[in-house]
Amino acid sequence: MQCPGQDSRYWDNEAIFEANCSKCGAVIEFFKDDNKRKCKQCGNEMLNPKIDFGCASYCPYAEQCLGSLPPEMIAQKQELLIDRVAIEAKKMLDQDFAKIGLMTKAARSAEKMIKTEESANRAVVMIASYFLPFVTEASANTSQESATEQITAKLTELNANPGIIAEVCTILADPRQVATDSSINQCIVHDSLILAEMAGRPAAPNNNGPELLTQNAREQAKQLSQSS
């Protein structure tokens, strides 16, 4: 069944309209279901100012329905996924405030590092950070393998992209270990875990703690040591 919002049988007289190009001001004609149109005068690709991408933020069939999603829409989908993961991870931790604290501190540190590392994938890093307590606090009753399965199931339920799921699980397989060829995403998650564990603890003598891999993490560690 076609989405009623994109089915021309349900359109009214406002389904075709004009808008001024955001760059040159020329008139661009839009159909209701256009996600963007190219300006004939300057070549600027302009997003449809009236299209409602609300459903596409969570619908797993958004690309099939709307065609190739614009970068702005992809970013919006990822931000919504990150927010939903944060809520679900906290629910899964229930009343375990120690683990919730670790999750919150790791995510806060990761957020700061992402801003200084342009090549980092924000969705991968933030999602992996929110799930760190599930793999670092594993008990005899919760193995690494079962924790990974739990994370995979939750991300699948939230309609996460398979590529994101795969990378998150690879990083969380052993977040304390990184190789020389590790991705920036893995380095940030590694550092966010160390910083989360450092928070609230006395600084290690002579700074003999785990090696931090990013410059921003080292700066955060320095601030933590000065405030402790």
Which domains, from first to last, does the chain contain? 4-52 (no CATH), 72-227 (1.10.3210.10)
- In sign, the C-alpha dihedral spanning 122, 228, 175, 209 is positive
At residue 140, the pLDDT reads: 42
- Which range (74-88, 159-173, 205-219) has the least confidence? 205-219
Amino acid code (one letter) for 220: Q
Is 110 a residue whose pLDDT tops 50? yes
**What ranges make up the beta strands (E) of the chain?**
16-20, 27-31, 36-38, 45-47
Task: Give the mean pLDDT of 188-201.
Answer: 90
Q: Does the model's pTM come out above 0.85? A: no
Measured CA distances, 117 to 14, 107, 114, 216 (Å):
44, 15, 5, 9
- Tokens for 24, please give them: 């040159």
pLDDT digits (tens, 9 = 90+) for 27-61: 999 887 777 889 999 998 887 877 655 566 556 66
Q: Tell me how far apart the alpha carbons of residues 23 and 46 are, in angstroms, rounded to a whole number.
A: 9
